[in-house]
Amino acid sequence: MLHPLTDQEQQRRHKLEELEKLGVEAYPSALFDVTFYAKEILDNYHPELNNFQEVSLAGRLMSSRVMGKASFAELMDTSGRIQLYVNRDEICPGEDKTLYNSVFKKLLDLGDFIGVKGHVFVTQVGETSIHVTELKLLAKALRPLPVVKEKVDEATGEKTTYDAFTDPEQRYRQRYVDLAVNPQVRDTFIKRTQLVQSMRNFLNDKGYLEVETPILQPLYGGAAARPFKTHHNTLDMTLYLRIANELYLKRLIVGGFDGVYEFSKDFRNEGMSRFHNPEFTQMELYVAYKDYHWMMDLVEEMVERVAMALHGHTEIRVGEHVINFQRPWQRLTMFEAIEKYTGKAIGEMDEAALRDTAHELHVKLDPSMGKSKIIDEIFGEFVEPKLIQPTFITDYPVEMSPLAKKHRDRPGLVERFEAICNGKEICNAFSELNDPIDQRKRFEEQLELGKRGDVEAMVLDEDFLRALEYGMPPTAGLGIGIDRLSMIMTNSNSIQDVLFFPQMKPEKLD
């Protein structure tokens, strides 16, 4: 028990006992056949057609006005709310009115799940309603839902909702209550599912294969991040929750697949913020015989398709901005972007000069940071927050990208891009490094960074190097953050708003 029972909770348990005495099952086992949903009826009922004359609905009891032998109530199902009209003489025919008087008038509570059967009609005030002929209790709610009050402006008719369940921590911790009393929250998650389905359809239409790769890995790799660690008892070995699935997907390209993708749960043991959750979702795609220029075109096409699927147009309001995902997007190299927003040309600087520049710009550094980290800090401080419209940042320093192929024309750079939108990265992509000798050297450089104290440096994966030695064709790779993209597409301010159950601190119990 999370806390001592309140008076209301004690009253509901007493009603449960009374129901049992009357022989009414509070949690019946038999199925209840739902034939229609509230929205379907409200959208399609026409009195002149006399349709919906036999309906069966189920959902929560959200309001009740008992007036003698006739009562009005409101039922909420997964599609919305609809009014019920209940007449005692019709649901309890005969002389014995005990069931109606005891159950409906006294023992049912708001939040209880009920099932009703009847026919549809329009009340004298013009409200489409269900004339109930059968009513059944399906599940007793032992805790009351937070009360949501509405006030209507008599002059304008505008409705204002006063919600008793607005505290973000409560909403994230008790998502089940949030969804029950704030139906609009469901729309966010419906759109998230539509987003994933739209991407999946797009990739399937291209002929790429959806696959699954290990979540528990003996070596973590594919990104610069700190992992979660666990232990397998039978094998007596340390395993890690994956931080990315890149290295396994590239093994499949080695094996002969031309295009593979995965929607994956990844885990990074790092800080939390409104943009970061330790468990998050990525879609990673690898396509043989392509490069990062080709992948930029595909990302534009795919995200534009997602916007159209969710909203019917490419312009999306996000906070105070209207973001347009119509192709083509702006493209800047990383050094061009940094010079544009800081006035500093850092392309030829060594580590010492970069540190001096960061100091001039008041960017905080620590001794473990090498060139790549310093550049990343400058970019994150001065450039990324200013990129509101979708923008490709291309051609990163080689030190920042241990898994990307060296640039074909510009020494010291790699063929990499990130798509930045609303001030945050939404995807990362490379022309993938397929030279096993160069890859080994890059891994060894990462080991040196680890010795300097960089806890996010990559580890050396001998099996992945062995796979590359068997030969991997030229390949373009992509990772898209589904949570970040969902935030933008649903105009959500926090990553917690697009996760059903975000990670939370332990709950403090009274």
Q: What is the pLDDT of residue 162?
A: 61
The dihedral through the CA atoms of 239, 242, 243, 245 has a sign that is: positive
Q: What is the pLDDT of residue 293?
A: 98
What integer best gives the mean pLDDT of the chain?
A: 91
Domain identity same for 128 and 160:
no
Does residue 461 have a pLDDT over 70?
A: yes
Any domain includes 447: yes
In the predicted model, what is the mean pLDDT of residues 325-349?
Answer: 95
Any domain includes 266: yes
Any domain includes 370: no
Domain identity same for 192 and 163:
no
Any domain includes 375: no
Any domain includes 508: no
Domain identity same for 125 and 160:
no
Q: What is the pLDDT of residue 404?
A: 92
Q: What is the pLDDT of residue 27?
A: 96
Q: What is the CATH number of the domain that holds 97?
A: 2.40.50.140
CB 421 within 8 A of CB 323: yes
231: closest CA among 212, 218, 244? Answer: 218
CA dihedral 430, 295, 383, 411 (to 10 degrees): 40
The more confidently predicted of residues 6 and 148 is: 6
Q: Would you place residue 97 in the very low, low, confident or very high pLDDT band (cuts 50, 70, 90)? A: low
Q: What is the pLDDT of residue 472?
A: 98
Please state the residue numbers annotated as binding site for Mg(2+). 418, 425
Q: Which of 80, 114, 139 marks a domain boundary? A: 139
Domain identity same for 259 and 299:
yes
Q: Would you place residue 309 in the very low, low, confident or very high pLDDT band (cuts 50, 70, 90)? A: very high
Q: At 473, which helix (H) or strand (E)?
A: none
Please state the residue numbers annotated as binding site. 418, 425
The model's pLDDT over 165-215, given as tens digits with 9 standing for 90+, comes to 888 889 999 999 999 998 889 999 999 999 999 999 999 999 999 999 999
By residue range, what is the domain housing residue 33? 7-139
Q: Which of 139, 160, 194 marks a domain boundary? A: 139
Any domain includes 368: no
CB 307 within 8 A of CB 316: yes
Any domain includes 436: yes
Domain identity same for 200 and 92:
no
Any domain includes 230: yes
Q: Say how far apart CA 182 and CA 34 lie, in whole Å.
A: 23
Domain identity same for 153 and 253:
no
Domain identity same for 191 and 177:
no
Domain identity same for 321 and 254:
yes
Q: At 397, which helix (H) or strand (E)?
A: strand 391-397
Q: Say how far apart CA 490 and CA 296 lie, in whole Å.
A: 23
The model's pLDDT over 203-260, given as tens digits with 9 standing for 90+, comes to 999 999 999 999 999 999 888 889 999 999 999 999 999 999 999 999 999 999 999 9
Q: What is the CATH number of the domain that holds 203?
A: 3.30.930.10
Domain identity same for 71 and 174:
no
Q: Would you place residue 60 in the very low, low, confident or very high pLDDT band (cuts 50, 70, 90)? A: very high
Domain identity same for 397 and 324:
yes
Number of folded domains in the chain? 3
Domain identity same for 48 and 116:
yes
Q: Which of 182, 201, 236 marks a domain boundary? A: 182
Domain identity same for 165 and 198:
no
In the predicted model, what is the mean pLDDT of residues 375-388?
Answer: 95
